[in-house]
Amino acid sequence: MTATTHTVTTQGAEGATTTQSAEGAATTHGAGDAARTYEVRTYGCQMNVHDSERLSGLLEDAGYVRAAEGDTPDVVVFNTCAVRENADNRLYGNLGHLRPVKMARKGMQIAVGGCLAQKDQGEIVRKAPWVDVVFGTHNIGSLPVLLERARIAEEAQVEIKESLETFPSTLPSRRESAYAAWVAISVGCNNTCTFCIVPSLRGKEKDRRPGDILNEVRTLVDQGVLEITLLGQNVNTYGVEFGDRLAFGKLLRACGDVEGLERVRFTSPHPAAFTDDVIAAMAETPNVMHQLHMPLQSGSDRVLKAMRRSYRSERYLGIIERVRAAMPDAAISTDIIVGFPGETEEDFQQTLEVVRQSRFANAFTFQYSIRPGTPAATMDDQVPKAVVQERYERLVALQEEISWEENRKQVGRTLEVLVAEGEGRKDDATRRLSGRAADNRLVHVAAADARPGDMVTVEVTYAAPHHLVADKVLSVRRTRAGDAWETRQAAPQRGNAVSLGMPAIGRPAPLPAEPPACSAL
């Protein structure tokens, strides 16, 4: 397959609302034909998950339907990550597996988007010429049109734009959750961390206007959503584009005025920009949860400087101290990189000490891996793999001990749990429900007459390092969110939804494939 390449530099149209063109919507299939099916495969951070919800919404607005589980779809879309070292191999391996499937299925199309597409551009079609469409992080709204162009021209379409075309949250969406949603308040990043390629792929920070964000939140609540998570690469720098450094705290307080919104979270803040007005907003706004995920990356000031992280361990610990002074029940989690170039045993010991002092509820821990295109990739003193592995295991063991100690403090306490769908992999076997407490701890609950989206008040009876068990159910509160979930089960939702689903935080895997958020790395 030959390729038509469009690499375009555009002026971002921040806040603009875009209607899908007739070309994308009208020609996906004929009036008498069966609807074409699709599948979106997502890798990476919450922003990618958010974008995948938009891609699904765009395709459904254009007449596609989601493929049933186990069926081969007519269109497969890969929404890729470029943060991890093995991201390239993972994509091309998956594309290789799909090649014989596509050759055997007439009319099947494959599209690649996301950060890796923004980085590799036309190289993807050169390496995998059976790919039909390549699109970047700035023009996800173009997907239906590009698929149709590729079908008509019978050649690959590669379209990469160098600045944001339309803010993703203005696009149609197919949300996975009836009760919880992501709301993107900004995209892009103005930092220059030496280990991170995201700013070069997502661009400079672009902020939505507060009124647009709050309108989306109100719409979600009207649809039954009880919990929203405000999302940004550096969520607490929100307002930098329109010159209000207190904008994020104001936004949290404004969310507190939305009737029917029970839980507000945000991810991920940058320690250098974390201000006391945000702590006050968290403590004083009843529906803002006392939960904070704040990346540490390293406890060594020398390593933080080499990473170009514009804070030091003293500042980080000071933020935690002030958060806990204002909210003694706050659960704090973090991200940590082990084995950054030049990291010594002394540096690593300093990280362990910060972890001991911080008493994190949980931590996402990562072994440093070279990311081509980042300054750290060419730094001297790359740490040997065996050393990184040994340090990683020590860090995980320490954090496991702390997590268990902190969770044991919850035994006997009464918690309100938002029942979730898909949080407990063994729920069917154990006959339990699972969900999240206000502080985002995972709780497995004894069987009760509750639906996803309902609230269950429980007493914690057992603690493990990465979850709680509550065998005493004190009450069940049926909610609008539960009603919305029940309605969706009866008639699955198709397109025209707003925003997204619930984050998952659990035990860090020995070798995690992807970070929880771009801002984490």
Counting every residue, how long is the chain?
A: 521
Rounded Cα gap, residues 95 and 354, in angstroms: 42
Q: What b/e sequence results for 248-282 when a residue is b if at least 16 CB atoms lie within 10 Å of its CB, and e otherwise?
A: bbbbbbbbeebeebbbbbbbbbbbbbbeebbbebb
pLDDT of 28 strictly over 60: no
pLDDT at 1: 59
For range 181-189, the mean pLDDT: 89
pLDDT at 99 over 90: yes
| Average pLDDT over every residue of 418-429 | 82
Pull the structure tokens for residue 128.
Answer: 């995998």
Question: Would you place residue 169 in the very low, low, confident or very high pLDDT band (cuts 50, 70, 90)?
Answer: low
Handedness of CA 509, 307, 208, 79 (dihedral sign): negative
pLDDT of 225 > 70? The answer is yes
As a whole number of angstroms, the distance between CA 374 and CA 372 comes to: 6
Q: Kindly report which listed range (76-80, 435-439, 496-500) carries the lowest average pLDDT score.
A: 496-500
CA atoms within 13 A on the CB side of 79: 23
Using the predicted structure, report yes or no on whether residue 491 has a pLDDT greater than 80. Answer: no
Please tell me whether residue 517 adopts helix, strand or coil conformation: coil
The full DSSP string for 56-74 is HHHHHHTT-EEPPTTSPPS
Taking the model in full, what pTM does it have? 0.79
Contacts of 162 (CB under 8 A, 6+ apart): 7, 8, 9, 10, 138, 203
Instruction: Give me the half-sphere count of Cα atoms (radius 13 Å) on the Cβ side of residue 387.
Output: 13
Mean pLDDT of 247-264: 98
Average pLDDT, the chain: 86
Q: Could you tell me the strand order of the sheet in which 467-470 lies?
A: 462-464, 467-470, 442-446, 432-436, 414-420, 455-459, 472-477
54 pLDDT above the threshold of 90 = no
Nearest to 233 by CA among 81, 47, 67, 86: 47
CB atoms within 10 A of CB 483: 16
- Tens of pLDDT, residue by residue over 347-387, are 999 999 999 999 999 999 999 988 878 999 999 999 999 99
- Tokens encoding 248: 């994020």
